[in-house]
Structure 1
Amino acid sequence: MFSFALVLMMLAGIVVGLVMGLTGAGGGILAVPVLVYSQGWTMQQAMPVALLAVTVGAIIGAIEGFSKNLVRYRAALLMALAGCFPTWLGIQLAQHLSQAWLMRCFAVLLILVAMRLYSQLRRHVHAEDKKSCLAQVNANTGRFDWNARSAAVIASIGGVAGLSSGLLGVGGGFIIVPMLRHFTNVSMHGAVATSLFVISLVGTMGVGMAVANGASLPLLLSALFVTTTVIGTLTARKIAAHLPTNVVQRIFIALLLAVAVSMLYRVTG
């Protein structure tokens, strides 16, 4: 039966897809609380469904990135491999943590990400600045110059993203993109495309592990959420070129803060 819950699920998927398509990251951050609020699910119930939708959207974005030669696939594979154990660890921790504690951690994470994004709006970080670039993309080859330091940096980024994927049900793009931009000289477009490829790999593993650990994926609701998320992502990619980046980022920051405040209110209220 077509119900109000299904309508909410479809609208939620479109919103998440739009945010993901416009920003290149952040879909999982919004997907989990949207599912919690619209369906009355717990964080543990929402995580695998959110991760599934974000993963499918990331696969679409990664395919586009490959077509434009933007994906640094060796770095992406290393990040995905480094994220395997942290993803499993995050899933195990999530099963033993209270709902209130998870929601508080999630809200704090949203606030930290919003602060980070706002700081990026307040200052201009140029790609030519080499001071914080611990892993370099060679201008001649377009590939990373691999050594022990660059490998450690890339693997660390993957590990942090994997832990967030398992613990909070997010793909990690909001971590991967800023960290790639901060610690490497990869372009913004390259960082987003590479991040989406990592999300598709890590997210696939995360969904599989969650299901193996007993998580359920309601067939109809999951299919609707994934489908509408994809529709939102494709739509956003068509309009992204017509919106200034700083405007999109300010909208995203406002959404993050609004969700964080509402989640804290729900826990403490």
Structure 2
Amino acid sequence: MELVELLAYIGALFIGLVLGLIGGGGSILTVPILVYAIALDPVVATGYSLFVVGTTSLAGSIQHMKRKMVNYKVALLFAIPAFTAVYLTRAFLIPAIPDSLFYLGSFEVTKDLFIMVLFAVIMLMASLSMIRNKKTSTIEEQHNTSYIILMVQAFGIGIITGLVGAGGGFLIVPALLFLAGLPIKKAIATSLFIIAINSLIGFLGDVQNIAINWVFLVSFSAISVVGIFLGMWLNRYIDGKKLKKGFGWFVLIMGIYIIFKELAG
């Protein structure tokens, strides 16, 4: 096993570990690890990421399901338009995007560049939501539930998930809080369940379009699943909320690095 591959597997463990410790955010590192450590094409990397994020989130949501923390009605209302958007994006939109989009003078904007810069912007948004660390636990359950707006927003989040291969928990949780009126703990648990459904069904849209190295993908995902259970165990002894802001700064730096690397490269 080469050093870069070993580092990638360590990264897979870290992805699950962070997800188990702070309840989200770890999946945002999947694409950078696959692109820069394994040298996968960004389109392939975002597809692989959906499988990794989906299996890891599903494993993590099992504990929430056992404790009856998942609101299945809201999950289905959100997941149906979201996974429809993810699937359509992966199966039809991404293959339809030309490899060369346009030129800015002599600078060529390619599909790969567009995906990585968009992903970096999503990383910046996710990092800011972690750094701000608003005390959403104090929010009371809402009674003016707006399921139509929730489903429209779910479709939009599904398109973003399909494009960049990230779970989008930092977008889903606020929607569940303010539009579905869920308490914070149920919003987080339901979000993880939604991410699992969205990602795995979205990945099906890739099966016909990309060559998949199943041995690597399954082993990478399995290590990430081990990481999430390890993170859940460590969460008993370590306050994940205190780690969240520090991880947010790390993601912010990574996002800025990706933008500079892609635009300067």
TM-score, L = length of structure 2: 0.86
Alignment match, 1:94: 94
Q: Unaligned 5+ residue runs, structure 1? A: 136-149
| Alignment map for 1:79-90 (pairs within 5 Å) | 79-90=78-89
**Per-residue deviation, 1:14:** 0.4
Alignment match, 2:248: 253
**Per-residue deviation, 1:186:** 1.7
User: CA distance change for structure 1 residues 39 and 253 in 2, over 3 Å: closer, same or farther?
Assistant: same
Question: 2:255, 2:164 → 1: CA distance?
Answer: 14
Q: Unaligned 5+ residue runs, structure 2? A: 99-110
User: CA distance change for structure 1 residues 107 and 241 in 2, over 3 Å: closer, same or farther?
Assistant: same
1:179 aligns with 2:175: yes
**Per-residue deviation, 1:219:** 2.0
Letter in 1 for 2:163: L
Alignment match, 1:200: 196
Alignment match, 1:144: none
**Per-residue deviation, 1:216:** 2.3
Alignment match, 2:158: 162
User: CA distance change for structure 1 residues 19 and 245 in 2, over 3 Å: closer, same or farther?
Assistant: closer
Alignment match, 1:139: none
Query: For structure 1, which segment, 98-107 or 70-79, has the greater mean C-alpha deviation from structure 2 after superposition?
Result: 98-107
Alignment identity in percent?
24
Question: 2:246, 2:119 → 1: CA distance?
Answer: 19
Match of 1:83, SS? helix
Alignment match, 2:50: 51
Say which of 108, 126, 144 aligns to 2:138. 126
1:29–1:170 contact (8 Å) kept in structure 2: yes
Question: How many aligned residue pairs are there?
Answer: 250
1:127–1:185 contact (8 Å) kept in structure 2: no
Letter in 2 for 1:126: T
2:86–2:199 contact (8 Å) kept in structure 1: no
Alignment match, 2:24: 25
**Per-residue deviation, 1:266:** 1.0
1:134–1:153 contact (8 Å) kept in structure 2: no
**Per-residue deviation, 1:119:** 3.0
